[in-house]
């Protein structure tokens, strides 16, 4: 049986890989042998953070390049995948990770607030998945992998694909959409031996949700929602991503793996009724 972390020879694009879950996933895939395209947004400090991720991979003996793209824009997505081919000549794994939040009460949420979240979290994931699905069948199989998956698409979703989230209706709607996007693509692409799965993280220690854990009081409130009793780390998600990207999970497609410490068990109902 092939080791679960064996990704040698394969190429992965990880969107939104300059920080948080994307950063940990890029590093994890590289540690398992994949060559990684570290996607980041243009401008700001994203480029410097992406370069630091690539440098960390290279220091560990891996191979990585950075590539700027706003995944909500079709032309930039096409350029991103062209860069992957230019650097590495193929693509085997897409990790659709990039995402944004913009909270507001529904009465105050502007169309721009709604559209930006949907554009990145759902439309952007569609654009990247489409680019990968077009590319996978056109490239030769790696000799050691004949008969296994011809390509692997992994969405990073959220527990909020099933847990409603007041004041975040745009985000929750986008993740609910990702769930059905993943399942429908898995059904469509399975005959072409393209596997499609999702990871739905719960509370993870990243900058995007720092207010939920950066004081003892806020952390205590958060832990009431997590039966396992700890907040997740980006590496918890990265390890799951490496497994789903590997041949050890070759018979798994159309599945969402919840990495949430039990948050989707609705712990507030424990002992009730």
Of 74, 82, 62, 72, the C-alpha closest to 13 is: 82
Strands (E), 41-172: 64-68, 93-96, 151-156
DSSP string across 73-103: SHHHHHHHHHHHHHHHS---EEEE-------
Backbone φ, ψ for residue 192 (5° rounding): -90, 10
What do you get for the CA distance between the two ends of the chain, in Å?
Answer: 46
Identified catalytic residue from 171, 228, 251, 266: 171
- Region of residue 210 (phi > 0: left; psi between -120 and 50: alpha; otherwise: beta): alpha
The answer to whether 94 touches 132, Cβ cutoff 8 Å, is yes
Active site residue 171: yes
Cα dihedral 63→253→234→27 (10° resolution): -10
**Cα 239 from chain centre:** 12
Q: Specify whether the CB–CB gap between 198 and 156 falls below 8 A.
A: yes
Return the active site residues: 171
């Amino acid at each position: 049986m092939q080791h679960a972390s064996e990704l040698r020879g394969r190429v992965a694009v990880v969107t939104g890989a300059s920080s948080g879950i994307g950063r940990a996933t890029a590093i994890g895939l590289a540690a398992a042998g994949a060559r990684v395209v570290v996607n980041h947004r243009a401008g700001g400090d994203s480029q410097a953070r992406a370069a630091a991720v690539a440098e960390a991979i290279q220091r560990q003996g891996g191979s990585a390049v950075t590539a700027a793209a706003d995944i909500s824009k079709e032309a930039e997505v096409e350029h991103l995948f062209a860069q992957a081919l230019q650097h590495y000549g193929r693509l085997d794994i897409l990790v659709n990770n990039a995402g944004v939040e913009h909270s507001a009460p529904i009465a105050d949420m502007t169309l721009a607030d709604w559209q930006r979240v949907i554009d990145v979290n759902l439309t952007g994931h569609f654009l990247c998945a489409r680019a990968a699905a077009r590319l996978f069948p056109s490239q030769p199989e790696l000799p050691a992998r004949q008969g296994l998956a011809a390509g692997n698409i992994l969405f990073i979703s959220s527990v909020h694909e099933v847990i409603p989230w007041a004041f975040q209706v745009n985000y929750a709607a986008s993740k609910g959409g990702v769930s059905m996007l993943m399942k429908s693509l898995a059904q469509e692409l399975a005959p072409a031996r393209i596997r499609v799965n999702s990871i739905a993280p719960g509370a993870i220690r990243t900058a995007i949700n720092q207010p939920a854990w950066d004081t003892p009081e806020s952390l205590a409130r958060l832990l009431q929602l997590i039966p396992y009793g700890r907040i997740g780390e980006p590496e918890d998600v990265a390890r799951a991503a490496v497994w789903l990207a590997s041949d050890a999970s070759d018979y798994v497609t159309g599945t969402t793996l919840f990495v949430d410490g039990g948050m989707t068990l609705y712990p507030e109902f424990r002992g009730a009724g």
